[in-house]
Structure 1
Amino acid sequence: MTQETRGARTGWGAVRPWLVRTGIAAATVAAYFLLPLDHLGPQRPVLSWVVFTVLLTAVAVLLLRQVRHVLVDRPDSHPGVVISLLIVLSVHVFSAAYYSLAKQPGEFSGLRTRVDALYFTVVTLATVGYGDITPRGQAARVVTVLQITYSFVFLTAAATALTTRMRDMVVRRTERGGRGGR
Structure 2
Amino acid sequence: MMIAYFTLPLRYFGEDRPVVSWLVFAAVLIGMTWFLMARMIDILVGTGHHPGVWIIFLICLVLTVFASTYYVLGAQPDEFVGLNTRLDSLYFTVVTMATVGYGDITPSGQAPRLVVMLQIAYNFVFLAAAAGALSRQVRSGLESRVRRRS
TM range (shorter): over 0.9
TM-score when normalising by structure 2: 0.95
Runs of 4 or more, structure 1, over 4 Å off, are none
Once the 2 structures are TM-superposed, how far is the Cα of residue 39 of structure 1 from its aligned partner?
2.0
Corresponding residue for residue 62 of structure 2: 90
Corresponding residue for residue 40 of structure 2: 67
TM-score when normalising by structure 1: 0.79
Corresponding residue for residue 123 of structure 1: 95
Equivalent position to 2:26, from 49, 53, 59: 53
2:52 is equivalent to residue 80 of structure 1: yes
- Fraction of identical pairs, as percent: 52
Equivalent position to 1:159, from 126, 131, 141: 131
In structure 2, distance between residues paired with 1:111 and 1:174:
51
Listed as ranges, the gaps of 5+ residues in structure 1 are 1-27
Could you say which structure has the greater relative contact order, defined with CA pairs below 8 angstroms and 6 or more residues apart? 2
2:19 is equivalent to residue 33 of structure 1: no
* Equivalent position amino acid for 2:121 in 1: T
- CA RMSD across the alignment: 1.1
Question: Highest CA radius of gyration, 1 or 2?
Answer: 1
Once the 2 structures are TM-superposed, how far is the Cα of residue 133 of structure 1 from its aligned partner?
0.2
Question: May I ask how many residue pairs the two structures share in their alignment?
Answer: 150
* Equivalent position amino acid for 2:57 in 1: L
Listed as ranges, the gaps of 5+ residues in structure 2 are none
In structure 2, distance between residues paired with 1:78 and 1:154:
18
